Chains A and B, each alone.
Chain A
Amino acid sequence: MAVSPPMIEVCGVSKFYGIFQALNDISFTVSDGEKVVIIGPSGSGKSTILRSINCLETIDSGRITVSGKDISLPQTDICKIREEVGMVFQSFNLFPHKTVLENLTLAQTVVRKRSKKEAEEIAMELLHKVNIAEKADAFPAKLSGGQQQRVAIARSLAMNPKAILFDEPTSALDPEMIGEVLDVMKTLAREGMTMVVVTHEMGFAREVGDRVIFMDHGRIVEEGTPEHFFTNPNHERAKLFLSQIL
């Protein structure tokens, strides 16, 4: 029986910024439909590993495969990988010169070569899904942070990705807007989307995560179910972090 390769496989990845080691021998896998939450103090390398999966950072050693394709090989089409793995950023990064609707249709027409009409239909459907259809013709600057982030999630979904990487999606938001973004993410999780989420939202990690990865100083210190991690972590560093944050 053929075993399909894991959605994302990170294998012994290290990365240096000058002499600073940002990632130290990181390995983990994410299987289809799994929700993995990466937590840890700032500067621990959690965003760096996420960005590396989307080739926004280059790695110095190790191997990352997406659907079995090694992303650092020159013959791999990075654009194809990125089409399959969406990314949601801390600072939303909507295109300010385009309306909300155009933000969603741009990559569909340019990359997926969909017709304008088809792209707009898909876009409107997704905007309904994230509860912001009424702002379709507004420019991003007119939207609140929470609204912008929901649009950014919809924009990512418009490419029909197999997995989405969330890089601290609620860290730039005012507290009262965090809930609306997490709700959208929970809906996605229920629908079976493969998700890798870097976050400080412990409640979300506990509720949605299938697995929690705790990182510190560029290493994976602890990995396990949320139940195990939040109630009975093995490592002192993880205990200390939890006592500070909970």
Chain B
Amino acid sequence: MHGGSGTQPTRPATHVMSDNQSTQTAVAVGDGAAIPHKSDAGLFTAWRIAFFGSIILCLFLAFGRPDQYMAIFLFVPEGIVITFKVTVGAILLAIVFGMIAGLGRISANRFINGAASLYVEVIRGIPLLVQLFYIYYALGRFIKIPAILSAIIAMAFCYGAYMAEIFRAGIQSIHKGQMEAALSLGMSRRQAMREVILPQAFKIVLPPIGNEFIALLKDSSLVSILAVSDLLRRGREYASETFNYFETYTVIALIYLIMTLFFSKLISIMEEKLNDGR
């Protein structure tokens, strides 16, 4: 259960590369499900086999072996909702943390730059699971907030550090002539950042943010060890009552797989749309 990629302290970072002015942007992903591109025929087929295979397998288990599996499928959906709440809440908050820290990382102000860099380095050096425990119990000690909220904050705080690097790379990939042109028109740095740099950077960082979303969706299973009834925890609750460990975790794994494959497809479509555009 602790073997999720997100628990490793040195998770391969997501890189944003852009060759100067052109909108050509390459995104290399070290985590999350493999993104199926049309050009990558082998992977594309693998995606289809995995995605439709898991759906068919789910249907077969639910209706072919209803006595063993139907109850599981009826018991876990509540957990899916929680998993989504945690994932969406954490990614949105992580984008906010990431944007602030990313801007801090390129700030000329030494103090701000140092603080942002420290945040990124410290967070990336601690396993996600340890951070989850730490922030969860640290928060619990000083303020009373619902378990799911502390889980979201903890996940977002961690992912914000990775997100910061994405934003930093995205902003730095914008040709410096853009900032100069904005400044030469009399804009302040802040205005240039808001009107010229960030709108362009945001387009570049969208795909890597999508990848982070998938990675976060998987890592959200870690919150099951806190008092949060996500998909995995619902499964554990069911299994510990019925002792049907194999059947339950088969279903849990299939549901995670279908969700991540679905979203990776969605992101690849989004990427294609972005590349088709100007």
Contact = CB atoms under 8 A, between A and B. Distances in A.
B184 A54 contact: yes
A139 B187 contact: no
Given A96-B278, A106-B195, A110-B195, A82 B21 contact: no
Interface size of B as a range:
20 to 34
A107 B178 contact: no
Given A96-B200, A97-B200, A110-B195, A91 B186 contact: no
Contact of B186 (A79, A96, A141): A79
B42 interface: no
A97 B199 contact: yes
A55 B186 CA distance: 11
A159 interface: yes
B180 A111 contact: no
B188 interface: yes
A149 interface: no
B177 A111 contact: no
B196 interface: yes
B185 interface: yes
A89 B180 contact: yes
A6 B71 CA distance: 86
Main secondary structure of the interface of B (DSSP, over half): helix
A156 interface: yes
Interface string A130-148: 0000000001011000000
Contacts of A94: 181
Interface string B225-241: 00000000000000000
Contact of A86 (B178, B182, B184, B191): B184
Interface in B176-215: 177-178, 180-188, 191, 195-196, 199-200, 203
B181 A93 contact: yes
Interface string B133-167: 00000000000000000000000000000000000
Interface residues of A, number: 28
B185 A159 contact: yes
Nearest to B188: A79
B178 A95 contact: yes
Contacts of B182: 95, 107
Contacts of A83: 185-186
A235 interface: no
A82 B186 contact: yes
B191 A111 contact: yes
A93 B177 contact: yes
A87 B177 CA distance: 12
B23 interface: yes
A93 B180 contact: yes
Chain A CB within 10 Å, residue with most, of B177, B178, B184, B195: B184
A155 B21 CA distance: 19
A107 B180 contact: no
A56 interface: yes
Contacts of B175: 91, 93
Given A93-B178, A97-B203, A159 B183 contact: no
Contacts of B278: 96, 139, 141-142
B183 A107 contact: no
Contacts of A97: 199-200, 203
30 contacts: A56-B183, A56-B184, A79-B187, A82-B184, A82-B185, A83-B186, A89-B180, A91-B175, A93-B175, A93-B177, A93-B178, A93-B180, A93-B181, A95-B200, A96-B23, A96-B200, A97-B203, A107-B185, A107-B186, A110-B187, A110-B191, A111-B185, A111-B186, A111-B187, A141-B23, A152-B181, A155-B185, A156-B184, A156-B185, A159-B185
Interface of A: 54-56, 79-80, 82-83, 86-87, 89, 91, 93-97, 106-107, 110-112, 139, 141-142, 152, 155-156, 159
Interface of B: 21, 23, 175, 177-178, 180-188, 191, 195-196, 199-200, 203, 278
Please list the 4 inter-chain residue pairs (A to B) with the smallest Cβ-Cβ separation, ordered nearest first.
A83-B186, A93-B181, A107-B185, A87-B184
